[in-house]
Amino acid sequence: MAVGGFWLAMLVGSVGFVLNHFLPLFLKLGLVPKGSFGWPLLGETLAFLKPHPSNSVGNFLQDHCSRYGKVFKSHLFFSPTVVSCDQELNYFILQNEDKLFQCSYPKPIHGILGDISMLVAVGDIHKRLRNVALSLVTTMKSKPEFLKDIERTTIQILDSWKDRQQVIFCDEARKFTFNVIVKQVLGLTSDEPETTKILEDFRTFMKGLISLPLNIPGTAYARAVKARRRISSTIKAIIEERRKNAGKSNNRSDFLETLLCVDSLSEDEKVSFVLDSLLGGYETTSVLMALVVHFLGQSPIAFEQLKVEHQNIRSSKKEDEFLNWEDYRKMDFTQNVISETLRYGNVVKFVHRKALKDVKFKDYIIPCGWKVLPVLSAVHLDPSLHADALQFHPWRWESEDQSCKKFIAYGGGSRCCPGSELAKVEVAFFLHHLVQKFRWKTEDGDRPLAYPYVEFERGLVLNVEHCSNI
């Protein structure tokens, strides 16, 4: 009986596989983009995920685009997929969220993040969570402590470098972004025991997110699922403590204080929301910082220009005076360096979507139910869109609009990153102190690789020289 059940399941599975893959090909003769499905089940996933320098599109995309064009079909993450390296199609996909396409991350990601995470939620739940996120970001930015906390954390990290000749920059950047986000969201400083506890669990959680999704005791994935539960209980305990102390004057100005007053979210949604903010704000921003430092290390002219910009801002201020929004708005070249780093370094290579119906775009059809992967890095490195696309050239942004369709580092449409401004302020303030206090040299061979998440081969080793106490 059990054996019969197995074969029946296989038969149903095979019929499903054939219907999903080949029926659209027969019915929409020749209209589905060209390409190859590769091996059964895995398809071309391994070749697609093969690491390559993050400032290149990698052999897989290069080879497929030259063979089939910028839009091609494949079989990735166990689904028939349309991969798009085309600027117009990517823009169209991102602008049509919930109408023609929908965010669709692989199941194991849901297993770790939970279904009410804003990063994976769709439809009305997503809209509700996103509205809260946007209003929280606006409230946070208006609090006077917001900028000061970022600057205090910068100074604390850079003070710890004074007697060192070498630092592993990726570790330092993660320490910085974690301390900033934990302070902004939960009001915790780096020396509080809860911070250390959350950081430890968070590292386990991040490792699981990028591991083989096997929920068997002992695997990185299973440890991550458990770590998520522990972080949730730590956050719940912090929330309960806050509620107990409600009314006592504590002058708290963090995310959580505002979040607790929001009526439109359940308790679990609030916890998940805090987790999303920590997750969204930690890895991406630290990778961006590492990429900026790496590219500046190879571009002495850009480094000097950046230093002059920050020296000018500093010279207009009293000793030890904190930076404010007005200073931030003067950091024009810094913004250009950040945008160019996002374009050239590609913190997020692609995002996951699925087609909600048959979608006709130009000459081809994307079949309903197929996965769609808009590749953001392919647009950034496309030589027909960016002159000298394979060069780090921050000056290009003096004449280019950073909100143009060919710059999509933060995604687009109704899922566009709500934390982009926070990330930029963090990087700009960190650079303000870094370029004035230190010079650095990177080591050969320590390149940023896209796994597709970006990692430096050796953690970005910096040989640093302390040159000023400003």
| Shortest CB 282 distance to ligand HEM, Å | 8
Q: Using CB positions, name the residue nearest to ligand HEM.
A: 419
Cβ nearer to ligand HEM, comparing 74 with 177? 177
What is the contact mask toward ligand HEM in residues 297 to 336, using x (rule: CB under 6 A)?
----------------------------------------
Determine the interface stretch with ligand HEM among 107-115, 220-228, 278-286, 435-443 (rule: CB under 6 A).
278-286
Q: Which of 82, 140, 186, 351 binds ligand HEM (CB under 6 A)?
A: 351
Q: Rounded to whole angstroms, how far apart are CA atoms 444 and 448?
A: 12
Q: At its nearest, how many Å lie between ligand HEM and the CB of residue 422?
A: 4
- Using CB under 6 A, pick the residue from 125, 368, 417, 449 that binds ligand HEM: 417
Out of 186, 348, 373, 462, name the contact with ligand HEM by CB under 6 A. Answer: 348
> Does residue 167 interact with ligand HEM by CB under 6 A?
no
Question: Which residues within the stretch 201-230 sit at the binding site for ligand HEM (CB under 6 A)?
Answer: none
Nearer to ligand HEM, 45 or 341 (CB): 341
Q: Which of 228, 349, 380, 415 binds ligand HEM (CB under 6 A)?
A: 415
Region of 40-48, 156-164, 405-413, 451-459 interacting with ligand HEM (CB under 6 A) = 405-413
Q: Would you count residue 100 as binding ligand HEM (CB under 6 A)?
A: no
Pairing of strands 166-168, 461-466: antiparallel
What's the min distance (Å) between Cβ of 406 and ligand HEM? 15
Q: Among residues 75, 83, 127, 122, which one has the least CA distance to residue 103? A: 122
Interacting span for ligand HEM (CB under 6 A) from 262-270, 385-393, 420-428, 434-442? 420-428
Q: Contact with ligand HEM (CB under 6 A): which of 35, 58, 419, 448?
A: 419
Smaller CB separation from ligand HEM, 281 or 448: 281
Residue number, 24 or 424, with CB nearest to ligand HEM: 424
- Residue 274 in contact with ligand HEM, rule: CB under 6 A: no
Is 425 a residue that touches ligand HEM (CB under 6 A)? no
Residue whose CB is less far from ligand HEM, 45 or 377: 377
Phi and psi (nearest 5°) for 419? -105, 10
**Residue 259 found at the interface with ligand HEM (CB under 6 A):** no
Q: Which residues contact 169 (CB under 8 A, 6 or more apart)?
A: 289, 290, 293, 456, 459, 460, 461, 462
Compute the distance between CA of residue 305 and CA of residue 317 in angstroms, rounded to an integer: 19
Residue 289 touching ligand HEM (CB under 6 A): no
The single residue among 55, 81, 87, 285 that binds ligand HEM, judged by CB under 6 A, is 285
118 binds ligand HEM (CB under 6 A): yes
In angstroms, give the least distance from the CB of 125 to ligand HEM.
11
**Minimum separation from the CB atom of position 118 to ligand HEM (A):** 5
Of 417, 414, 407, 418, nearest to 377 by C-alpha is: 407
Per CB under 6 A, 280 contacts ligand HEM: yes
Among 114, 394, 411, 452, binds ligand HEM (CB under 6 A): 411
Q: What does the H/E/C string look like for the chain? A: CHHHHHHHHHHHHHHHHHHHHHHHHHHCCCCCCCECCCECCCECHHHHCCCEECCCCHHHHHHHHHHHCCEEEEEECCEEEEEECCHHHHHHHHHCECCCEEECCCHHHHHHHCCCCCCCCCHHHHHHHHHHHHHHHHHHHHCCHHHHHHHHHHHHHHHCCCCCCEEEHHHHHHHHHHHHHHHHHHCCCCCCHHHHHHHHHHHHHHHHHCCCCCCCCCCHHHHHHHHHHHHHHHHHHHHHHHHHCCCCCCCCCCHHHHHHCCCCCCHHHHHHHHHHHHHHHHHHHHHHHHHHHHHHHCCHHHHHHHHHHHHHHHHCCCCCCCCCHHHHHCCHHHHHHHHHHHHHHCCCCECCEEECCCEEECCEEECCCCEEEEEHHHHHCCCCCCCCCCCCCHHHHHCCCCCCCCCCCCCCHHHCCCCHHHHHHHHHHHHHHHHHHEEEEECCCCCEEECCCEEECCCCEEEEEECCCC
**Cα separation, 295 vs 289, whole angstroms:** 10
C-beta closer to ligand HEM: residue 167 or 348: 348
Residue 347 touching ligand HEM (CB under 6 A): yes
* Residue from 58, 108, 187, 281 in contact with ligand HEM (CB under 6 A): 281
- Residue 69, sorted as left (phi over 0), alpha (psi -120 to 50) or beta, turns out to be left
Q: Count residues contacting ligand HEM (CB under 6 A)? A: 25
Taking contact as CB under 6 A, which single stretch among the options 241-249, 277-285, 299-307, 356-364 is the one that binds ligand HEM? 277-285
Q: Give the residues lining the site for ligand HEM (CB under 6 A).
A: 103, 118-119, 130, 133, 276-277, 280-281, 284-285, 288, 347-348, 351, 409-411, 415, 417-420, 422-423
